[in-house]
Structure formats: C-alpha cells, structure tokens
Amino acid sequence: DFEQAQKGWLKLIRKLEDAKKLSDEAKEKLTKSEPANRAIQSDSGVSDEQKRKVKETVETLKKESAAQESKFNQLNEDMNNARPEYEKNMTTVLNRTHEFEKNRLEFFKQMFQDYHDSLFRIKPENLEKASTDFKKALESHNSTKDIAWWNSTYGTGSSAGPKFEGTINT
C-alpha cells in the first residue's frame, strides 16, 4: 500500500533530481564559457568570425541555463502542489497500519494475560512477586500511547519532510 501511495511522488522526485542535475550542468558550462568569451573578445589576434561564434555559444548557453532552471523551478512547484495529496494518501495508509498494529499489540497483551492466568492459577507463594510484576507490566502497556509516540516521533506528527535545495548559483 505504501509503495502504491508513493509511486507518483517518486516519479516527481526523479524528474526533479534530473532537472536539477541538468540545470547545474548548464550553469557550470556557462560559468566556464564566460571567462573564455571575455578573453577572446579582448584578444586582437582573433578574427571577428571567431569572436562572433564564441559570443553566440555563450548566448546559447545562457538560454539553455535559463530554460533548465525554469524547468527545475516548475517541477519544484509541481511537487509542492502534489504534496498535500501525497501526504493524505500516506496518512490513510499509515492509519490502516496503526490500526493493524494496535490490534496486534492488544492480541499479544491478551495472550500474555491468558498465559499468566493459566500459569498462576494456583498462586504459589514463591512466585507471587513474579506474578505481581508480570501483571503490572501487562497493565502498564498501552498500545494507543505506543502508537501515538511512534506517530509523533516518526509519523505524521513529526516535523520530518522532504525539502529540496535550489540549483547552484552562478
């Protein structure tokens, strides 16, 4: 169920990571080409045709860099817009999991209670402390509190959530 709820989200993450990589690469190419362009433009031994070609290359790289950054920003915005639906789907699955876990814990608590009752039916004096300690341990267990603690530490009550950094700045 979790895999199904995450499918679209993971696809968006992959697209975002790819767009970030392409944007960073385009900016890096641009950063490397600008000093070369300045050097060639100031060199009097270079033909006007070569200067024009280098200048066009830099302009093309600027456009490519801007386009890649725009694509990254759009995907980041799409991801922010998709987040509430993703969180809703994951919360639904998580709540079903919590219900299953609560039933499982209650089953074990009841099983151990029955085990205790059958084991200490005759109440031997030398095992009275063990019986009392075992019963206290069973009574102190609260599956609702366990699940609430887990949820606040790792689940929907925690502040954890993916944040995406922007592309590199040039």
Q: Comparing C-alpha atoms, which of 75, 84, 95 is closest to residue 161?
A: 84
| Span 15-55, pLDDT tens digits | 999 999 999 999 999 999 998 888 888 888 888 888 889 88
Q: What is the DSSP letter of 46?
A: S
Encoded amino acid at 152, one letter: S
Counting residues of the chain whose pLDDT is more than 90, the rounded percentage is 41
With a cut of 80, say whether residue 124 has pLDDT above it: no
Domain boundaries, the chain: 2-153
| Domain spanning 2-153: CATH superfamily | Arfaptin homology (AH) domain/BAR domain (1.20.1270.60)
- Give alpha helix (H) positions in 120-164: 128-140, 143-153
- Output the pTM of the full model: 0.64
Query: Could you tell me the pLDDT band of residue 153, with boundaries at 50, 70 and 90?
Result: confident
Report the half-sphere exposure of 39 (CA within 13 A, side-chain side).
Answer: 5
